[in-house]
Amino acid sequence: MTDGTATRSAAAASAERRRRRVPYLLLLPGGLWLAFFYILPMLQLAGTSLKSGSFAGGYRFSWEFSNYGAGFSDFSAQFLRSIAYAGLATLITFVIAYPLAYFIAFRGGRYKNLLLVLVIMPFLFPFLLRTLAWKIILADDGFVVDTLKAIGLVSHNGRLLATGTAVVAGIAYNFLPFMTLPLYVSLEKIEPAMVEAAHDLYANPRTAFRKVTFPLSMPGVVAGTLLTLIPAAGDYVNAQLLGTPQQSMIGNVIQSRFLLVLDYPVAAALSFTLMLAILAMIIPYIRFTGTEDLVA
């Protein structure tokens, strides 16, 4: 009897160890993917940012931290412009996306799926094609400019294309679904009974929205702003096609340094500086909104 009990205990312990290994085995494919396609390239990029030399003479690792200082000092205007454009575009997409997501979640009814398809339909077309379409919309002889001139919002000789306004508008247009979908998911999860309870406690619609609906949708607000701000800050296509060199963003500088100037160390340093700048912004933002669990 003792031997049988010991055997069963050993078998149970072995089965328990196997069960404990299962989560780690399930995480293994994703971990290998991240290690191979994210961590290793990041380490290589970090090493490149600390090299010195030239493309013709070759680069050597020399702990060249001056690449970071030189890159930021030489292109500080592009850094600040990227943050400003991305922040303004994120604000515009939020102002447009929140009412849209609210309507779909609470008023969409049986047309919810159709409305969501319409939201994501731009993704069926290439990013470049969408930006070129926006270039046609904002053309000097286009309907939009003519209308704005007619109502006095644009001067007779004014234009929208090749301005910061066009770049911000293009970014907001291209990243609008990134803001809308997370907001919709958060709003759709809100139980209507909670809003009704606020009305039963004599809250008017504005108070119910401020005290119940908006706080409960904060995970979607944070997710949407991050999904919009982060890629918008590194975007270079909209500035390239809708702006001029005076509206260039840091993404344009990085693209030029990598592919045209062939200054890989400074380009890598600029990439890391942009990443650190974005982290320096989003970490306080997440803490301020109280949604640390969202990205934990």
Are residues 271 and 218 part of one domain? yes
pLDDT band at 155 (very low <50, low <70, confident <90, very high): confident
Q: For 34-54, give one letter per residue: b (16+ CB within 10 A) or e.
A: eeeeeeeeeeebeebbbbeee
Q: Is residue 70 part of a domain?
A: no
Average pLDDT over residues 186-200: 86
pLDDT at residue number 5: 67
293 pLDDT exceeds 80? Answer: no
Whether 92 contacts 168, CB under 8 Å: yes
- Give residue 295's pLDDT band: very low, low, confident or very high (50, 70, 90): very low
What pLDDT does 169 receive? 93
Q: What is the pLDDT at residue 82?
A: 94
**CATH number, domain with residue 85:** 1.10.3720.10
User: What sign results for the dihedral spanned by CA atoms 154, 158, 162, 163?
Assistant: negative
Same domain? For 145 and 32 the reply is no
Nearest-angstrom CA–CA distance, 4 and 183: 58
Output the pTM of the full model: 0.85
In angstroms, the CA 134 to CA 143 distance is 12
SS3 59: strand
DSSP class of 53: E
Among candidate residues 131, 129, 160, 135, the one with its CA nearest the CA of residue 145: 160
Cα(134)–Cα(79) distance, integer angstroms = 24
Average pLDDT over residues 91-113: 92
What whole-number distance in Å separates Cα of residue 63 and Cα of residue 72?
17
Rounded CA gap, 265 and 47, in Å? 9
Domain span at residue 19 reads 2-49
Q: 111 and 227: one domain?
A: yes
Mean pLDDT calculated for residue range 84-106:
95
| pLDDT at res. 261 | 87
Residue 170 has what pLDDT?
A: 93
In a domain, 68, yes or no: no
Determine, yes or no, domain membership for 66.
Answer: no
**pLDDT at res. 1:** 47
Of the candidates 185, 191, 171, the one whose C-alpha atom is nearest the C-alpha of residue 116 is 185
Say how far apart CA 294 and CA 287 lie, in whole Å. 11
pLDDT score of 173 more than 90 = yes
Q: What is the pLDDT of residue 178?
A: 93
Is 90 exceeded by the pLDDT of residue 200? Answer: no
DSSP 215: H
Judge if 168 and 262 occupy the same domain. yes
